[in-house]
C-alpha cells in the first residue's frame, strides 16, 4: 500500500554497509545524522506516529550504492524519536541485507537495492524541495516530496526529477529536517 505522503531524502555520502558506529553517524556514517533527524521529522508527532506517511532514505555512499531504506508509517514498530535508535534500525537492516536485493529489517522497515529513478517510478507523483523553486504550494496527496541531505541534489538526480514541480519554503536554505516539518505543517493546514 502506498502512503499519502512520501518523503525521499537523498543521502549523498550515507554508507551502504554497516561499517560505521552508532557514536559516529556524522563522520563514519556519511552524515547519517541528517537522515535520522529527517526520519523523526517525517514520522513523528508528539507522542505518536503519522500513519499516513512513509520516509525513504536513499543511501548513495560507499561501498555498494544505492540502497533505499523504507520506513512505512502504517506498519512500523520499534521506532523511537531519537537519532541513535533509528540509526540502530538502519544498521541492523544493512547487516541483514548483505548480498540480497531486499530485506525486512524489522516490522515496517525494509531495505531495497533501488536507485532514485526506480523509486520514483514506484511512488506517487514527485515534487522537489528547492529554495529556488517556482511554487510555494504542494499538490494534493498522494505525493512524494524529495529533498537533499546537507547537500543539494546532483545533476543526475535533478535530471531524474526534471518533470517534478520545484516547491520552495522561503528563499533561505534550511535544514532538511526543518523542511519536512514545514511541509507537513503546510499540508496539515489545508
Ligand atoms: C541543507 S539543504 C542543502 C544545502 C544547501 N542548499 C546549501 O548548500 O547551503 C537540504 C535540502 O533541503 C531543501 N531545502 C532547504 N531549504 C529549502 C527551502 N527554503 N525551500 C525548499 N527546500 C529547501 C533542499 O532540497 C535542499 O537540498
Architecture in CATH for domain 5-188: 3-Layer(aba) Sandwich (3.40)
Tell me the pLDDT band of 1, cut-offs 50, 70 and 90: confident
Whole-number average pLDDT of the chain: 97
| Ligand 1 site, residue 148, Cβ cutoff 6 A | yes
Share of the chain above pLDDT 90, in %: 98
Give the nearest ligand 1 atom to 146 CA: 25
Of the candidates 2, 3, 43, the one whose C-alpha atom is nearest the C-alpha of residue 184 is 43
pLDDT digits (tens, 9 = 90+) for 55-80: 999 999 999 999 999 999 999 999 99
Domains in the chain: boundaries: 5-188
Grid coordinates of 19: 561499517
Tell me the average pLDDT across 177-189: 98
Tell me the average pLDDT across 103-109: 97
pLDDT digits (tens, 9 = 90+) for 120-150: 999 999 999 999 999 999 999 999 999 999 9
Share of the chain above pLDDT 70, in %: 100
174 CA distance to ligand 1 middle (Å):
5
| Ligand 1 site, residue 151, Cβ cutoff 6 A | yes
| Ligand 1 site, residue 170, Cβ cutoff 6 A | yes
Task: Tell me the C-alpha to C-alpha distance, in Å, between residue 105 and each of 32, 63, 67.
Answer: 17, 19, 13
130 CA distance to ligand 1 middle (Å):
6
Tell me the pLDDT band of 107, cut-offs 50, 70 and 90: very high
| Ligand 1 site, residue 132, Cβ cutoff 6 A | no
| Ligand 1 site, residue 154, Cβ cutoff 6 A | no
100 CA distance to ligand 1 middle (Å):
33
Instruction: Name the β-bridge partners of 106.
Output: 109
Distance in angstroms between the alpha carbons of the first and the last residue of the chain? 24
Instruction: Please choose from 146, 176, 185 the residue to mutate so as to test ligand 1's pocket, defined by most ligand atoms within 8 A of CB.
Output: 176
**Residue 131 in contact with residue 172, Cβ under 8 Å?**
yes
Tell me the average pLDDT across 44-54: 97
pLDDT digits (tens, 9 = 90+) for 155-172: 999 999 999 999 999 999
Amino acid at each position: 500500500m502506498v502512503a499519502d505522503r512520501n518523503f525521499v531524502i537523498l543521502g549523498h555520502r550515507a554508507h551502504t554497509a554497516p561499517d560505521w558506529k552508532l557514536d559516529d553517524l556524522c563522520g563514519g556514517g556519511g552524515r547519517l545524522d541528517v537522515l535520522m533527524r529527517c526520519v523523526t521529522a517525517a514520522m513523528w508527532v508528539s507522542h505518536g506516529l503519522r500513519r499516513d506517511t512513509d520516509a525513504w532514505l536513499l543511501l548513495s555512499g560507499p561501498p555498494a550504492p544505492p540502497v533505499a531504506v523504507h520506513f512505512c508509517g502504517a506498519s512500523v514498530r520499534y521506532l523511537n524519536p531519537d537519532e541513535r535508535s533509528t540509526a540502530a534500525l538502519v544498521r541492523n537492516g544493512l547487516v541483514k541485507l548483505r548480498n540480497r536485493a531486499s530485506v525486512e529489517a524489522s516490522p515496517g522497515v525494509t531495505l531495497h537495492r533501488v536507485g532514485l529513478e526506480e523509486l520514483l517510478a514506484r511512488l506517487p507523483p514527485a515534487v522537489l524541495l528547492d529554495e529556488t523553486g517556482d511554487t510555494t504550494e504542494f499538490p494534493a496527496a498522494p505525493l512524494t516530496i524529495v529533498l537533499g541531505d546537507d547537500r543539494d541534489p546532483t545533476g543526475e538526480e535533478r535530471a531524474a526529477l526534471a518533470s517534478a514541480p520545484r516547491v520552495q519554503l522561503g528563499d533561505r536554505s534550511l535544514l532538511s529536517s526543518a523542511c519536512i516539518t514545514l511541509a507537513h505543517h503546510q499540508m496539515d493546514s489545508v
